[in-house]
C-alpha cells in the first residue's frame, strides 16, 4: 500500500514547539523528527495535554486563550498555521484517528456515505474495505447512522478512511483506549499494515503494549515538556479480598432484542452477584453494548425480563463514548448536582477518580479523553 507523494528522508519535523493555554498552562515539544514508516508517541497521564499538543501541531486547537509558537515542517515545507491553507494537506495527506470515534462522524449521514465523501471511493469500495477490516455484513453497516453502530465499528470506519486515503501521516489519539485483547490485536495489525505501507504514525498514548509492539519513539511528559525517555510501569493498587456473600444484584432472563429484521440477542441469560465482576466478551457489533443497555434499562427487550434492585438509579451505565454521554456545554458540577445522592461530596468524588477539582466548572469540551471517561464514571457513582 504505497503512500502518495514524494518520499523524503524526514516527513514531519518539529522544533521548539510550545503551546500556551489559559493561566500558566504550557506544553512544549522541543524536537521531533519522523520519517516514512516510523512511529512516534507522546506519552503521559490523562489530562497531561497529549491531545491538545497533537491538535496544536496541525493548527486544529481552535480555543480562546490558546496560542502556539515554534516550527512545524511537513515534507520539508512549513506547515500552514492558517486553517484554510492547511485544509488541503489535512484532507489529502494526514488522517486523524480520534479517541472518540463516534464524535468524528457526522450523526446525520450513513457511515458508508461518509467514507465515500472522505476518500472519493464508491460504495462498493467502502464496503469492501470495511470487510477487510473485519466488519461482518459491511454493506448493511454502510447504511446505518453512527448512533446505530458500536464503538469498535466506528473505529473501523475511521480506519477504512485511513486505508482508502493512503495517507503519508496518521495521527492517532489513544487508539487502544477501551479495547479488549482481541480488538487490540486487530488494531495493532491494522496500524502495522499502515506503517508497512510507508505511512508514519504519530500517536498519543499511555498504553505500554502499543509502544512496544509498534517500536515507537517515545516522548515522555516531564515538567510540561515532551522529551525522549522510557515510560515507567505504574502498577494498579491492590486491596484485600472483600467477603460480602452471594447476593443477586442483576439478572437477565431469556432476553431477546431485534432491530428491524436483524436479531442482535436471542435467549440470553445473565446473572451478577454482589461483589462480583463479570466481563462480556465478543467481536465489535456482537451485541455487548446492547446487552448493557438492556440491563441498565435504556432499552426494553422484545422478549424476556430484567430483574434489578428496586432502588431508583441502582444500575448505572458508563458508556464507551464518554464524550457523547456528557451533555454539551454544561459544567460537570451541574451534571453531578442534577442526579447525585444527597450525601455525595463532589470534591471527594473528584479525588477518588483522580480528577483535578478545577474540572468541576469545566464542560466536556475542555476535558481530555481520559478525563471524560472518569467524569462519566463519577457521574454514575454519584447516583
Q: Say if residue 269's pLDDT is above 50.
A: yes
Is 158 a residue whose pLDDT tops 50?
yes
- pLDDT mean across residues, the chain: 85
Say if residue 101's pLDDT is above 90.
Answer: no
Alpha carbon of 17 to those of 71, 201, 220, 224: distances in Å? 6, 19, 15, 12
- Smallest CA-to-CA distance from 172 within 200, 153, 130 is with 200
Q: Which residues, including other chains, have CB under 8 Å from residue 340's CB and lie 6 or more apart?
A: 346, 382, 383
Give the separation between CA 72 and CA 251, rounded to whole angstroms: 55
pLDDT at 321: 85
336-354: pLDDT as tens digits: 888 788 778 887 888 888 8
- Global pTM reads 0.65
What confidence category does residue 227 fall into, taking pLDDT thresholds of 50, 70 and 90? very high
Look at residue 234 in the predicted model and tell me its pLDDT: 44
Range among 1-15, 182-196, 263-277, 330-344 rated most confident = 263-277
Residue 162 has pLDDT above 90, yes or no: no
What mean pLDDT comes out for the span 96-124? 90
The H-or-E segment that residue 248 falls in is: strand 248-259
pLDDT at 255 over 90: yes
What does DSSP say about strands 200-205 and 39-43: parallel, antiparallel, or unpaired?
parallel
pLDDT digits (tens, 9 = 90+) for 166-183: 889 999 998 887 565 667
Question: Which residues make Cβ contacts (< 8 Å) with residue 159, sequence separation at least 6?
Answer: 97, 133, 190
Q: Are 311 and 92 in contact (CB under 8 A)?
A: no
Ranges 107-121, 302-316, 342-356: which has the least confidence: 342-356
Amino acid at each position: 500500500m504505497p503512500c502518495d507523494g514524494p518520499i523524503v528522508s524526514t516527513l514531519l519535523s518539529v522544533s521548539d514547539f510550545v503551546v500556551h493555554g489559559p493561566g500558566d498552562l504550557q506544553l512544549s515539544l522541543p524536537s521531533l523528527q519522523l520519517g516514512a514508516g516510523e512511529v512516534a508517541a507522546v506519552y503521559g497521564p490523562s489530562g497531561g495535554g497529549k491531545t491538545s499538543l497533537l491538535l496544536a501541531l496541525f493548527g486544529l486547537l481552535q480555543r480562546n486563550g490558546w496560542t502556539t509558537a515554534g516550527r512545524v515542517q511537513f515534507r520539508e515545507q512549513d506547515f500552514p498555521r492558517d486553517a484554510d491553507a492547511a485544509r488541503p494537506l489535512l484532507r489529502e495527506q494526514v488522517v486523524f484517528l480520534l479517541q472518540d470515534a463516534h464524535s468524528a462522524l457526522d450523526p446525520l449521514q450513513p457511515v458508508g456515505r461518509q467514507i465515500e465523501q472522505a476518500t472519493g471511493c464508491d460504495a462498493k469500495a467502502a464496503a469492501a474495505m470495511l470487510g477487510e477490516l473485519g466488519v461482518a455484513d459491511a454493506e448493511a453497516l454502510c447504511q446505518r447512522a453512527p448512533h446505530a453502530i458500536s464503538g469498535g465499528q466506528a473505529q473501523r470506519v475511521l480506519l477504512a478512511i485511513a486505508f482508502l486515503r493512503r495517507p503519508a501521516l496518521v495521527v492517532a489519539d489513544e487508539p487502544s483506549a477501551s479495547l479488549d485483547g482481541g480488538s487490540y490485536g486487530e488494531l495493532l495489525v491494522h496500524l502495522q499494515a499502515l506503517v508497512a505501507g510507508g505511512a508514519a504514525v504519530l500517536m498519543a498514548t499511555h498504553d505500554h503494549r502499543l509502544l512496544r509492539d509498534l517500536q515507537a519513539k517515545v516522548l515522555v511528559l516531564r515538567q510540561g515538556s515532551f522529551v525522549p525517555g522510557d515510560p515507567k510501569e505504574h502498577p494498579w493498587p491492590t486491596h484485600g479480598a472483600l467477603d460480602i456473600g452471594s447476593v443477586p444484584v442483576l439478572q437477565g432472563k431469556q432476553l431477546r432484542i431485534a432491530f428491524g429484521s436483524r436479531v442482535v440477542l436471542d435467549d440470553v441469560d445473565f446473572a451478577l452477584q454482589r461483589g462480583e465482576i463479570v466481563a462480556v466478551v465478543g467481536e465489535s457489533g456482537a451485541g455487548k453494548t446492547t446487552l448493557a443497555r438492556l440491563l441498565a434499562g435504556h432499552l426494553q427487550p422484545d422478549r424476556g425480563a430484567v430483574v434489578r434492585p428496586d432502588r431508583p438509579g441502582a444500575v448505572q451505565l458508563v458508556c464507551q463514548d464518554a464524550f457523547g454521554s456528557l451533555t454539551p456545554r454544561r459544567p460537570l458540577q451541574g451534571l453531578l448536582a442534577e442526579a447525585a445522592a444527597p450525601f455525595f461530596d463532589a470534591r471527594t468524588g473528584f479525588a477518588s477518580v483522580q480528577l483535578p477539582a478545577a474540572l468541576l466548572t469545566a464542560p466536556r469540551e475542555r476535558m481530555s479523553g481520559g478525563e471524560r471517561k472518569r467524569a462519566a464514571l463519577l457521574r454514575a457513582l454519584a447516583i
